[in-house]
Amino acid sequence: MPFSYCNTGTCDYASRNDKSYWLSTTAAVPMMPVSGRDIRAHISRCAVCETPSPAVAVHSQDYIAPTCPPGWRSLWAGYSFLMHSGAGDEGGGQSLTSSGSCLRDFRAQPFVECQGPRGTCHYFANIYSFWLTHVSLDEQFGPGPVPSVLKAADQQRRQASRCHVCTKG
């Protein structure tokens, strides 16, 4: 649990049923919750880098990643991630201009939920990820797509829109 809650006199750590959400790795989804050092294999690592200008995500709602604007250079291309929901009213997201809205890899569950008092992390069936989808030009402003269920990973990946993270320079 990466936080504690405090009032004027004390701070409490892992004493509530708090949850945190972490970007996951491409490790196989375990059947049971993981704990201790086994959690490391499921939580993505990051690096913070300095750039001459802020990184900005550009989204296409197409299956082809958009190009960076003139005078900007590419940092990476990915898939347009909107937000996640957890059990009950839990969840989160970020601005579509944020580099965090453009994930390099598409995974139906790109995050893992960790529960404080239990000290475990797991991929629960009742938490969801939300992605921008591919919308062809002839489908725009029309009656909407035909509802369908995409079970195969390649179908899911093809339906997600693409994005690019760019920086000036």
**Which pLDDT score, from 0 to 100, does residue 61 have?**
84
Does the residue 145 lie in any domain? no
Q: What is the pLDDT of residue 88?
A: 63
In a domain, 19, yes or no: yes
In a domain, 141, yes or no: no
Total domains in the chain come to 1
Q: Within a domain: residue 113?
A: yes
Which pLDDT value is given to residue 49? Answer: 80
Assess if residue 142 is contained within a domain: no
- The answer to whether 33 and 127 are in contact (CB under 8 A) is no
Backbone angle region of 54, left / alpha / beta, with phi > 0 → left and psi within -120 to 50 → alpha:
beta
CB 110 within 8 A of CB 83: no
What domain range is 155 assigned to? 4-136+150-168
The CATH number for 164's domain is 2.170.240.10
Biggest CA-to-CA distance, the chain:
61
pLDDT digits (tens, 9 = 90+) for 123-163: 887 778 889 988 877 777 877 777 888 888 888 888 899 99
Structural domain includes residue 33: yes
The tens-digit pLDDT sequence of the chain (169 residues) is 667 778 888 887 766 667 788 889 989 989 999 999 999 999 999 888 888 889 999 999 888 999 999 999 999 999 999 988 776 666 777 889 999 999 999 988 888 888 877 788 998 877 788 899 888 777 778 777 778 888 888 888 888 999 999 999 8
